[in-house]
């Protein structure tokens, strides 16, 4: 064995018919014998301990988990140990009933790595059908375009206290319809009054501006005569001024700014006007309570 220079180099194959000297021998991990390249496998050298490390796994029909059977142990004991310790029937649905892509004809299972949630329809799809046109996405949900006070009206009617016996409710129309019509009429009245006030103020300002531009006062005199002793009165607040120019400056600096501020506040904070007494309310529920408390539950003039 070996060479004169290296007597311990290499080993002979353990097979009797072979006994080949191999300088790179193989050691079997089962029988721990040395073999050459041709007889290194279990089948070639008929290894007697080849089945000592075989792994046998059966699938549990209750939880769909794999149960490993030990070679030197009775399979019934291994099965009973699994049933008493780690068997979980709830795992069966997770393993067998896997989610699939909802697109018709797609057989792709939805797992952690290939699942995409659509932003518009909020449904899970596979990577192939992740875009809207691929899964016929209906698009984002559109907001309701109904009457904005309907939810408040329904809530107020639910919280409405019972009426006294001496006050009989109207039987002609339903409560929701009557209150809706009342709110619509109140809103139209408020808008009409606001437009009338703005148009009136615009006409008066135009008249004052033309009078100041032509140098003629309201009584037919000149601006110098008005400045000498004639009193000019503001049509909005009744303030007295010695000249028309002072009146114009007062209207521009006071009433024009006030009108702009009121318009901005009206745009930001809408006011509902009671059609009975023209009292304004910012909350529709407060208007409902006011009409029921002060006007006997009706908003007709």
pLDDT tens per residue across span 127-167: 999 898 888 888 776 655 554 555 555 555 555 555 555 55
Phi, psi of 272 (to 5 degrees): -100, 130
Supply the DSSP symbol for 134: G
The helix (H) or strand (E) run that includes residue 90 is: none
Binned at pLDDT 50, 70 and 90, residue 262 comes out as low
CA 291/CA 293 separation, integer angstroms: 6
- Compute the C-alpha angle 193/196/202, nearest 5°: 140
Contact predicate 276/291, CB 8 Å: yes
Phi, psi of 24 (to 5 degrees): -130, 75
pLDDT of residue 126: 92
Burial class for 42, CB neighbours closer than 10 Å (0-12, 13-18, 19+): middle
Contact predicate 87/63, CB 8 Å: yes
CA 28/CA 143 separation, integer angstroms: 74
> Which residue would you say has higher pLDDT here, 56 or 118?
118
Give me 18's structure tokens: 């072979």
> How does the average pLDDT of the chain come out, rounded?
75
Res. 58: pLDDT tops 50: yes
Strands 11-12 and 26-27: unpaired
- Compute the C-alpha angle 223/226/231, nearest 5°: 140
Distance of CA 257 to the CA centre of its chain: 41
pLDDT of residue 221: 42
Distance from first CA to last CA of the chain, Å, rounded? 125
> Which residue would you say has higher pLDDT here, 268 or 107?
107
Report field, pTM of the whole predicted structure over 0.85: no
- Secondary structure, 3-state, the chain: CCCCCCCCCCEECCCCCCCCEECCCEECCCCCCEECCCCCCCCCCCCCCCCCCCCEEEECCCCCCEEEECCCCCHHHHHHHHHHHCCCCCHHHHHHCCCECCCCCCCCECCCCCCEECCCCCCEECCCCCCHHHHCCCCCCCCCCCCCCHHHHHHHHHCCCCCCCCCCCCCCCCHHHHHHHHHHHHHHHHHHHHHHHHHHHHHHHHHHHHHHHHCECCCCCEHHHHHHHCCEECCCCCCEECCHHHHHHHHHHHHHHHHHHHHHHHHHCCCEECCCCCCEECCHHHHHHHHHHHCCCCCCC
Nearest to 181 by CA among 153, 159, 139: 153
Mean pLDDT over residues 177-186, rounded? 70
For residue range 1-57, list pLDDT tens digits in order. Answer: 556 666 677 889 999 999 998 888 999 988 889 999 999 988 888 888 877 666 788
């Amino acid at each position: 064995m070996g060479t004169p220079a290296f007597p311990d180099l290499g080993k002979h194959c353990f097979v009797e018919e072979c006994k080949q000297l191999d300088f790179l021998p193989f050691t079997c991990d089962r029988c721990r014998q040395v073999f050459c390249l041709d007889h290194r496998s279990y089948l070639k050298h008929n290894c007697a301990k080849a089945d000592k490390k075989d792994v046998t796994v059966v699938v549990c029909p209750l939880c769909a988990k794999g149960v490993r059977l030990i070679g030197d142990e009775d399979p019934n004991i291994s099965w009973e140990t699994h049933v008493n310790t780690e068997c979980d029937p709830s795992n069966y649905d997770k393993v067998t009933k896997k989610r699939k892509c909802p697109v018709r004809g797609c057989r792709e299972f939805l797992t952690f790595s290939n699942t995409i949630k659509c932003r518009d329809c909020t449904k899970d799809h596979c990577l192939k059908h992740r875009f809207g046109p691929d899964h016929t996405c209906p698009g984002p949900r559109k907001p309701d375009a109904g009457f904005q006070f309907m939810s408040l009206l329904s809530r107020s009617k639910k919280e409405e206290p019972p009426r006294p016996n001496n006050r009989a409710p109207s039987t002609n129309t339903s409560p929701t319809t009557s209150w809706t019509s009342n709110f619509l009429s109140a809103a139209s009245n408020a808008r009409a009054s606001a437009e009338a006030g703005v148009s009136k103020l615009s006409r008066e300002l135009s008249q004052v501006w033309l009078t100041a531009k032509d140098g003629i006062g309201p009584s037919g005199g000149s601006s110098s005569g008005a400045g000498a002793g004639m009193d000019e009165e503001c049509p909005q607040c009744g303030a007295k001024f010695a000249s028309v120019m002072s009146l114009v400056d007062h209207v521009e600096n006071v009433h024009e700014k006030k009108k702009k501020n009121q318009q901005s506040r009206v745009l930001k904070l809408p006011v509902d006007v009671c059609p009975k007494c023209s009292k304004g309310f910012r909350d529709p529920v407060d208007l409902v309570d006011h009409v029921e408390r002060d006007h006997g539950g009706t908003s007709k003039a």
